[in-house]
Chain A
Amino acid sequence: MKATKHHISDEMLIAYSAGTLPEAFALVVAAHVSMCDGCRTTLSAFDAVGGAVLERCSAVKVSDGCLAATLARIARGDAPRRPECCKDAVLPKPVVDYVGGGLDAVRWRPISGGARQAVLCADKAATARLVYLPAGSAVPDHSHRGIELTLVLKGAFRDETGHFAPGDVETSAEELTHRPVAEPGAPCICLTATEAPLRYRSLLVRILQPFLHI
């Protein structure tokens, strides 16, 4: 795979390692790390910090029966496993786990102008979704109330800040209003995580926002 140019920030990797990211952001980080050996190495360094922190914890006494209870738990059998999903040429494994299959299994919903989306997980903090942009088309102009991560899975897009190819992640800050456009020639498929509902400039879109789930 071509070396990625745009990576996950150290702060975001630390938060993923510490386990404090909202699930939607954790999904984008896991997907990027699946595609990027550099970030995988950095992440394992941050996990090692977590290991050192655990090792430094002053022991808290466990109950007398704790070991026996754990051995009984072990004897009861293996931990339940999630069924193994198929591999996919476009979707990295963590995304396949959420879709419940490969690209063919994604349940797309139309947004506008041929663009489509599929929400993969959503909670109070953030939403993760797959977005499909036809070749050469633009995402409606939007600004963010919070941080947005966009990971390219297929095709490419360009906006005011640069060019993004498969494996690249764009981290958009709160104040950024940008206009991503899919490169001509092929559709662009991205995985995004957004901290809060997007704030569109168009009043109509803003009114429709709760219904469109974008």
Chain B
Amino acid sequence: MDDTDGVQLLLRIRDHQDSAAFADLFLHYAPRVKAFLMKSGADHAVAEECTQDVMATLWHKAHMFDPGRASVATWIFTIARNRRIDALRKARRPEPEDLLWGPEDEPDPAEALELQQESARLGQAIALLPEKQRDLIERAYFGDLSHSEIAAQTGLPLGTIKSRLRLALERLRQQMT
């Protein structure tokens, strides 16, 4: 799904409670959210249940989506991550104070477009990383593996893991500038 298409769908949900737009977003993201949760250690049933929660939260919190601050994928990732912490780790998720923005400071469309394009470039940059580095980043974000568990699984010492993750992010940064 093109990033700007996703934004249009989400804005239709936000502004018009458009259930057809919701169905389109659901078709693309629900199977990915389920995959993300299963990679994080949830079984089929729990992942399916949590996916419904995540997608329902997307509907209810659509008014909080700001295309100048996050892509649709990033925003859904944060909802799925928080649901995972809640459901799988039974912990609370402290969130930073929201930056205040009211109707008077609707995000600048040019700024929003730029952020969406940047997010698309980030996706491409990750796709271009050497497989080992990409694998490490993905495991870190699936979150069920700590650094030491990743070390145990790959047979790599902890220092190497940390420096590879740093290297991967450094390369990501270079690709982004």
Contact surface of A with B, Cβ cutoff 8 Å: 10-11, 14-15, 17-20, 22-23, 26-27, 29-31, 33-34, 40, 43-44, 47-63, 66-67, 69-71, 73-74, 78-79, 92-94, 97-98, 121, 123
Return the contact of A59 from the options B19, B35, B47, B137 (Cβ within 8 A): B35
Check B55 against A70 for contact (C-beta < 8 Å): yes
Expressed in whole angstroms, the minimum distance between the Cβ of A24 and any Cβ of chain B is 9
Between A and B, how many residue pairs show CB distances below 8 Å?
165
Supply 29 A–B pairs (Cβ within 8 Å), ascending by A: A14-B140, A19-B81, A19-B93, A20-B146, A23-B91, A34-B97, A40-B99, A48-B74, A48-B119, A50-B81, A51-B70, A51-B74, A52-B73, A53-B126, A53-B138, A54-B29, A54-B77, A56-B127, A57-B32, A57-B36, A60-B31, A62-B48, A67-B26, A67-B30, A70-B30, A70-B51, A70-B56, A78-B60, A79-B60
| B82 at the binding interface (Cβ < 8 Å) | yes
Check A56 against B126 for contact (C-beta < 8 Å): yes
Q: Knowing A18-B141, A33-B96, A44-B69 touch, does A66 contact B75 (C-beta < 8 A)?
A: no
B residues 126-144 near A (Cβ < 8 Å) are 126-127, 137-138, 140-143
Main secondary structure of the interface of A (DSSP, over half): helix
| B9 at the binding interface (Cβ < 8 Å) | no
In the assembly, what is the distance between CA of A62 and CA of B38, in Å? 12
Q: Knowing A30-B96, A44-B70, A69-B52 touch, does A74 contact B59 (C-beta < 8 A)?
A: yes
Among A26, A43, A60, A121, chain B packs the most CB atoms within 10 A around the CB of: A60
| B94 at the binding interface (Cβ < 8 Å) | yes
In the assembly, what is the distance between CA of A69 and CA of B91, in Å? 26
Q: A51-B74, A93-B97 are in contact. List 4 more A-B contacts (CB 8 A).
A: A27-B94, A51-B73, A52-B122, A70-B30
In the assembly, what is the distance between CA of A33 and CA of B23, in Å? 35
Instruction: List B contacts of A43 (CB < 8 A).
Output: 96
Check B94 against A61 for contact (C-beta < 8 Å): no
A30 nearest in chain B by CB position: B94
Check B52 against A66 for contact (C-beta < 8 Å): yes
In the assembly, what is the distance between CA of A186 and CA of B46, in Å? 51
